[in-house]
Structure formats: structure tokens, C-alpha cells
């Protein structure tokens, strides 16, 4: 480009830079809103999972059935018992109250 034409192109570039600067705060604001919404969504998903857990059919199993399941699981995978005790308080109580699980430790 020749003299005057190059100056015009430089002014255009500067104008575009100014335009970019006007977008940046809006982008930052929208990103903050997005981050907040994502956090709220994660929290809501966690709460939904908790609610589903309360309705889980596993919660309705009698302790005797859980004991049988735990004993069978221990037979195939001995390390499963500590994990079972971490699922929930009820499972831990059932596991602790099942002597067959602890007879060979």
C-alpha cells in the first residue's frame, strides 16, 4: 500500500483493537455468569443424585439379603468389604454385624 493507504489501514487496525477492548469486559462478565451457572448445575446434579439414592431399591433390601450379598462378594473379592462399609451407615452396620465377613481376617 502507498503512503495514505497504509495510514488508513493502520487506523482501521486501531479501530478494530478498540472494538476488541469493548468486547473483553462483556466476555469476562459472561464467563463469570457461565462459571456460576455451571457450579449451580453441578450442585443441583449432586442433590438430584442424593434424592435418587434415597429412592434406590437397594435401600429396601433386608439386612439378611445384604449380608448374603456381602459374604458372596467377599468370597470372590476379599478387598470389597472395606469398600462396602463406606457406602452408607446402614451398609457399614450390616457389614460390621456379619461375623462371616470377619472370621478369616
- pLDDT per residue over 40-61, tens digit each? 999 999 999 999 988 988 888 9
Hey, how many other C-beta atoms are within 10 angstroms of the C-beta on 92?
A: 14
Which residues does the chain have with pLDDT short of 50? none
pLDDT of residue 2: 78
Same domain, 24 and 60: no
Same domain, 51 and 77: no
Give the predicted TM-score (pTM) of the model: 0.53
Same domain, 23 and 61: no
**CA distances from residue 12 to 8, 16, 23 in whole angstroms, order as listed:** 6, 6, 17
C-alpha cell at 38: 455451571
In three-state secondary structure terms, 100 is helix
Distance CA 66, CA 60 (A): 10
Contacts of 100 (CB under 8 A, 6+ apart): 67, 71, 74
For residues 85 and 92, the answer to whether their CB atoms sit within 8 Å is yes
For residues 101 and 71, the answer to whether their CB atoms sit within 8 Å is yes
Same domain, 61 and 100: yes
pLDDT of residue 105: 56
Same domain, 45 and 9: yes
Same domain, 51 and 75: no
Same domain, 61 and 91: yes
Counted domains in the chain = 2
Give the domain range for residue 51: 1-55
Amino acid at each position: 500500500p502507498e503512503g495514505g493507504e497504509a495510514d488508513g489501514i493502520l487506523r482501521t487496525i486501531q479501530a478494530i483493537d478498540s472494538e476488541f477492548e469493548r468486547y473483553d469486559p462483556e466476555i469476562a462478565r459472561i464467563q463469570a455468569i457461565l462459571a456460576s451457572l455451571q457450579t449451580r448445575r453441578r450442585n443441583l446434579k449432586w442433590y438430584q443424585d442424593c434424592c435418587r439414592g434415597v429412592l434406590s431399591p437397594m435401600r429396601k433390601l433386608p439386612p439378611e439379603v445384604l449380608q448374603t450379598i456381602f459374604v458372596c462378594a467377599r468370597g470372590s473379592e476379599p478387598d470389597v468389604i472395606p469398600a462396602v462399609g463406606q457406602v452408607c451407615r446402614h451398609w457399614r452396620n450390616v457389614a460390621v454385624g456379619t461375623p462371616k465377613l470377619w472370621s478369616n481376617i
